[in-house]
Amino acid sequence: MNEIIKRDYYLSKVEPFIDKDIIKVFVGQRRVGKSYLLRMLARKFQGKKNSNVIFIDKERYEFDSITNYKELNEFVLQKLKTTKKNYLFIDEVQEIEDFQKSLRHFNSQKNVDVYCSGSNSKIFSGEIATFLSGRYIEIKVFSLSYTEYLLFNKYTDSDESLRNYLRYGGLPFLKNLGDSEIINFEYLNNIFSTILYKDVISRYNIRNVNFLENLVKFTADNVGNILSSKKISDYLKSQKLNISPQMVLNYLNYLQNAFLIYKVRRKDAAGKKIFEIGEKYYFEDWGIRNAIIGYRQNDINKIIENVVYIHLIINGFEVFVGKLGEKEIDFVCEKNGEKIYIQVAYLISDEQVKKREFGNLLEIKDNWRKLVVSLDPFPIGKWNGIEHYNLREFLTSFR
């Protein structure tokens, strides 16, 4: 690493657990910066007196020989120094069979502090979670937020910066590739292929690869749309495929586990009921979404909605799609016992659009905060108590 750019948001989450008897796990989609965070911490400890850093990167060929927990134990035991504090880092730990046995073993030793990363949301689930119960903390890592994107690229907050962010997304390595759309989308397509083949097809032994690829494209084209079982059935019929809707839902679940997409459930905006059918899906990184099906200007509303959703979950909100009778609220956001309603629009171009976007929120009869977010360069401020944010303002100030 030639240049250290701190991601303070994530460092602040891990700092309370440094040198504590608990395994620190960074989870997230490939290439969002988990390895970067591990290396930042490793460099911090390398400068610490009486410390010994052991770093295992399962994406590098020199660690190919470590395939199971016994080989991991053997490697680490050779590197441990009994007279020093040992900091053990394992990048992409899910590539090692029965890794949890090693993590538990080394975490039990007082002179070993354990950190690792993984690219599967179910990395610590089921029997593994039981085996390591109470011994680990997960820290979710996302693509760059807009403010991080400006910092990484040394950009000023401008309409041009926002346009690039909406087009290419927030994967950190893009800062090294320049402004070529061909090169950027080629890189993003390569990342997509790695995620699809390593984290989905290989992990779940999927045979119908062509259908999975088409399903991803279908999901990318329907970002922000309700995907009901009927819509999925109609899609299957259009493809002349004999695949059950349940199998499609399983495939979508695998894509979620790889952090490629997120499922957002619907909730009654006037009550507490959560609906079991009809969800929306958003991409972890909309740059990958744009690379898969192309960046199209008439998709801008979908992209903005995706960007707003990711910003909300980065900032710790639990997010639902709001259902208000036959109408819809884009996002119902909950955090610390409080609620915020958000509508997302491209532009408030006329009075009819204003009445639709603001009007839906006005029908919610409670006193929680209500916002409309759009690309309008000059927000109208408040309208009947509802706040109007320009997207740049929202991404830089809303927490």
Number of domains in the chain: 2
Return the bridge partners of 85, or none.
51
Q: Are residues 110 and 234 in the same domain?
A: no
Answer with the one of 114, 140, 166 that is the final residue of a domain: 140
Query: Residue 283: beta bridge partners?
Result: 261
Kindly state whether residues 19 and 162 are assigned to the same domain: no
Tokens found for residue 239: 């493809």
The predicted pLDDT at position 278 comes to 84
CA distances, 272 to each of 269, 322, 332 (Å): 8, 10, 11
Q: Are residues 171 and 122 in the same domain?
A: no
Q: Are residues 205 and 306 in the same domain?
A: yes
Whether residues 200 and 112 share a domain: the answer is no
Q: Enumerate residue ranges in the chain where pLDDT < 70.
A: 1-4
Single residue among 120, 140, 160 that ends a domain in this structure: 140
Q: 155 with 244, same domain?
A: yes
Which domain CATH number covers 50?
3.40.50.300
Distances (CA, A) of 159 to 168, 393, 394: 14, 11, 13
On whether both 298 and 388 belong to a single domain, the answer is yes
- Among 96, 115, 140, where does a domain finish? 140
pLDDT, one tens digit per residue, over 137-150 is 999 999 999 999 99
Considering the domain architecture, whether residues 52 and 110 belong to the same structural domain is answered as yes
- Phi, psi for 201 (deg, rounded to 5): -60, -50
Q: Which residue has the tokens 């989450």?
A: 13
Q: Residue 3: what pLDDT?
A: 62
Domain assignment present for residue 365? The answer is yes
pLDDT for the residue numbered 4: 62
Q: Where are the beta strands (DSSP E) in the chain?
A: 23-27, 51-57, 85-91, 112-118, 136-140, 261-264, 266-268, 280-283, 318-324, 327-335, 338-344, 369-374, 382-383, 386-390
pLDDT recorded at residue 1: 45
Q: Is residue 3 part of a domain?
A: no
- Domain carrying residue 31: 8-140
Block residue for tokens 């290419």 = 168
1 assigned to some structural domain: no
